[in-house]
Structure 1
Amino acid sequence: MARRIDYYGDPNAPKANSLVPSVNVVVENDNGEILMIRRTDNDNWAVPGGAIDLGESVTQAAVRETKEETGIDCEITGLVGIYSDPKHLIHYTSNDEVRQEFSILLTARPVGGVPTPSDESREVHWMEPAHIRALKLDRSMRLRLDHYLEKRDRPVVI
């Protein structure tokens, strides 16, 4: 199984060797619950997301990644922010790729599907925001969710 190691401001971290545009999606249902996955590559909780493929728009990637990782169909509703902090590095040990963070965080509403784990998600659940605060999250994912929960007037650009 591929492993993912996140580093933040670590002088001993490997040097970045790629920059891959990606997207994450905060899907909130009518009960105010947020769709969360437990990742298979690092066992952390996160919102669904992944790389934007060539020939694909940001919103197409967001809808595709959400469906692939969770079984939920969604409709994109907004933008939380753009996260490109060069201090955040993501090391994929299977191929020794070290990515500099570049992620766009969108919001969405569910339009169908059933929560279903995948190769990338060992668990998929709708969760109340208060419960999410107690989960094991990477620093960058916690920051993104905090920004979403703050209901800011403007997108975050980091």
Structure 2
Amino acid sequence: MRFTPHVTVATIVEDQGRFLLVEEMADGRAVFNQPAGHLEADESLIAAALRETLEETGWDVELTGVTGIYLYTAPSNGVTYQRVCFSARPLRQRPQHPLDEGIIGPRWLSRDELAAQPERWRSELVLRCIDDYLAGPAHPLALIRD
């Protein structure tokens, strides 16, 4: 069997100590995740992060840096994901923008509110990426080469 890791992007959007999260259905339960998703064919990592954030939250954002690059193997299915996590600031919400299937809606939570609900995390990367963002420093977007 050929090893094929999945390339994904995620976005840490912070506004005054609260983080834009996605409440979504996964394996029959409502969980929290960053706006995140898979890189599509002929798409840059930056374009993927902007697209996924809009599709999952209805928010336009401006990317401000790279928080980190993570390798994660999901215990539920054994799939390995390479996640490129960006930081961003919110620009504007599009309330009428349709959200992806399975998305309950965007939620703004503080780090402590999220940390108090580990059973609701999509994976441990949800809090880890926020903690890495808070620890800083962010890497410049120029780190990403198309």
Confirm or deny a common fold (TM above 0.5): yes
Residue matched to 1:99:
79
Residue matched to 1:35:
20
Report the Cα distance in structure 1 between the residues aligned to 2:4 and 2:134, rounded to whole angstroms: 30
Residue matched to 2:55:
68
The partner residue of 1:82 within 32, 44, 69 is: 69
Q: Give 5+ residue unaligned stretches, structure 2.
A: 141-146
Residue matched to 1:146:
131
Q: CA deviation at 1:74?
A: 0.6
Report the Cα distance in structure 1 between the residues aligned to 2:63 and 2:92, rounded to whole angstroms: 13
TM-score normalised per structure 1: 0.72
TM-score normalised per structure 2: 0.77
* C-alpha distance after superposition, 1:13-51 (max 9, x if no partner): xx985312110000112x231101112124221110101
Residue matched to 1:3:
none
Residue matched to 1:18:
4
Q: CA RMSD in A?
A: 2.5
Name the % identity: 26
Letter in 2 for 1:147: D
Report the Cα distance in structure 1 between the residues aligned to 2:70 and 2:60, rounded to whole angstroms: 24
Q: CA deviation at 1:91?
A: 5.4
Report SS of the residue matched to 1:146. Answer: helix
Q: Which has the higher helix share?
A: 2
Letter in 2 for 1:66: T
* C-alpha distance after superposition, 1:31-78 (max 9, x if no partner): 231101112124221110101111111110000000000000111100
- Give the aligned length: 133
Residue matched to 1:126:
108
With over 3 angstroms needed to count, the CA separation of the structure-2 counterparts of 1:16 and 1:33, relative to structure 1, is farther
Determine if the alignment matches structure 1 residue 110 to structure 2 residue 97: no
Deviating more after overlay: 60-69 vs 121-130: 121-130
